[in-house]
Structure 1
Amino acid sequence: MYNFKYEVGTKIFFGRNQIVNIGKEIKMYSDKVLIVYGGGSIKKNGIFDATIEQLRINNIEYFELGGVDPNPRIESVREGAKICKEKGINAILAVGGGSSIDCAKAISAATKYDGDAWDIVINKKLIKNAIPVFSILTLAATGSEMNGNSVISDYKNNLKLGTRSPLLIPKASILDPEYTYSVPHKHTAAGTADIISHTFENYFTSEEGGYLQARMAEAILKTCFHYGPIACREPENYEARANLMWASSWAINGLISDGVANNWSVHPMEHELSAFYDVTHGEGLAILTPAWMRYVLNDKTVNKFVEYGTNVWGIDSSLDKFDIANTAIDMTQEFFTKELGIPSSLSELRIDNKYFDKMATQAVRGETIKGFIELTAEDVRKIYESCLL
């Protein structure tokens, strides 16, 4: 286990009616706030009105930036930063899922940056200051409510990139599982797949000595495998929604990655799918993950897959190692397709191999992906190809 510094500065208010705390938390930083949200469902389900009521009680003036896309665009970031600069806004409140929160984070940094907002996406070192970010979460998926990561897309150039800074970590987040009741099956399933993928990216590592991190990762995986299908079948099951929401936060806030994680592998590949085809992030991850697993399975990696198969899926440890590994991979894919109802191939998403060469080159950023197993552009292209079947 290598050296690390662990720090998460987000104050979490978890449970029913915790929205009553958001106004006083924002008030500590600003009397004006920009509310960032997506397609407008929060105005139909009452969450927006509840938010405004808390701002009114605390005498906070608010401005709106709606219409944030599922893969948030740089254009929205530019617009939000412009509003904040013109109105003298010193706080941002994201109400929605990871896309709204990611957009809010990028706006918070862009507001304090004199150049173009895309600069801070491609170079995180340019983030020297940011205005405080707050969130009211409505989708368990990205974990953005409790970390400093932000992923932004530039579709004019087919780019989807991540940036990060401790300055972007939300000051406070409201996690009310009831706010996820209205999330449709498709996005509940994709969100569950996203949580699982975050956990896999940290779990499948060549770094040794992270026993505690591995056991915590397995607990998150088992939670998702158990509660994901329940939430899809019973959207108002509080226990299922609550467990998924809490798993989402802990899968990607450093708890299971610090000290052990390699660079991620599947996410860079999926970001290219989203950049070129605007697919639902979790669906892309669910299709790519089993293919990546099969591609990297070898004599060197098999023991980690055995650990996964026996500890998470309960496969008989006395079986042949490769039988355990392949069974675990099969069970993973079957979970995504049969239990969550996610498409099993890129072809089902009407994706062909037209851009695979360019996507593969961009995924490795001109070098290689130095993850669990180092991947070249050719490796990535082969993984894409295997997902067409």
Structure 2
Amino acid sequence: MKVIDYNRPSLRGAIQVPGDKSISHRSVMFGAIAEGTTTVEGFLLGEDCLSTIDCFRKLGVQIDVDGTNVKIESAGIDAWEEPKEVLYTGNSGTTTRLMLGILSGTNLHTIMTGDASIGKRPMRRVVDPLRQMGAQIAGRAGGQYTPLAIQGTELQAIDYTMPVASAQVKSAILLAGLRAKGTTIVRESEVSRDHTERMLRQFGAKVDVTEGVVSFEGGQKLVGTHVKVPGDISSAAFFLVAGAIAKDSEVVIENVGVNETRDGIIDVLTAMGANMSMMVEGETVAEPTATITIRTSHLHGTTIEGAIIPRLIDEIPILALLATQANGQTIIKDAEELKVKETDRITAVVTELKKLGADIEATDDGMIINGPTPLQGGSLKSYGDHRIGMMAAVAALITDEPIQLDDAECIAVSYPTFFEHVHSLIVR
């Protein structure tokens, strides 16, 4: 149990949030698949991304870590060794689902499992399209849950229409498509984050993306390269909200990735009247980056729905906290995907914010928040979910009484230095 007692401080200063989790995962995966040397700068040393490194080391790939710099030496996917151990993916849904696509087209037999949370998360959304490609995957409940056993085999390309927007499903299919015969096509009605498509190009593949349709020819070879990972906007979101709701504050966040498939929180903050400015700096991994400045803001409610949801699905817990401090009603809908994250985030967010005095109600696909409401201290649960844990910690900035947070350690999954950064910004 961690006691968080900030006594309503102001926040001032500049930080750089850790590297983007999605890009860090993929940099190791692509580096392992590619032939040659891949160097990664700004890698996220969170537990999830370290799980990805561990899995590829068990496949015989040489990976050296020096701080946030990572070097991957690989002779290509055909040189991988059949692992003697189970591949343990920890709490990482990205590792688990994307590796299903990667491993399905190898000549290896592998078994994957994760922690208790991963054991509850649905895998058929990935397994079913991979089976359509010829993948041989077995697991609990017909492949719905880990552990999962994969017998690598030859794959055939498919033309797949996504039933829901999911970058993990899309990426698993595209990564399987690298080894498939024919042209793999994935069609999205609502575009999900596109880091896989961008990184395929950086590693030398030819990929066509046109109006929500991604296609490329199987059998292409990837070549090692250098990847510079920008700051994770999902991590930055907690400090964007903190800067907006803490009194007399100004927070500068440098080198943040502002990929247009991930920057929905910027649009929502703007719609709610946040006092925010952004200076776009350049691109890394064909990823735009920016410095964002946020100040204490007079906010008003809004409706968050539809096509923007995939662009901010991981930021909804902290946006719910933001809405408790906005004038009027905020409605979040079309966010059923929250129910199958590390925990049921609809239930978790509503339950924990109610404990603090928030006027918030759950709906089938989101929540309704009325504000502004003063928040009190209390004892909160993280549910072992890093984003719920960080939401609770940010709430402690505006409560008169302390917050006691159980399993605050789960925050290290994506942001090991989170509390250090909070303390570096506090002024009295």
Q: Flag the structure with higher strand content.
A: 2
Give TM-score scaled by structure 2 length.
0.28
Give TM-score scaled by structure 1 length.
0.30
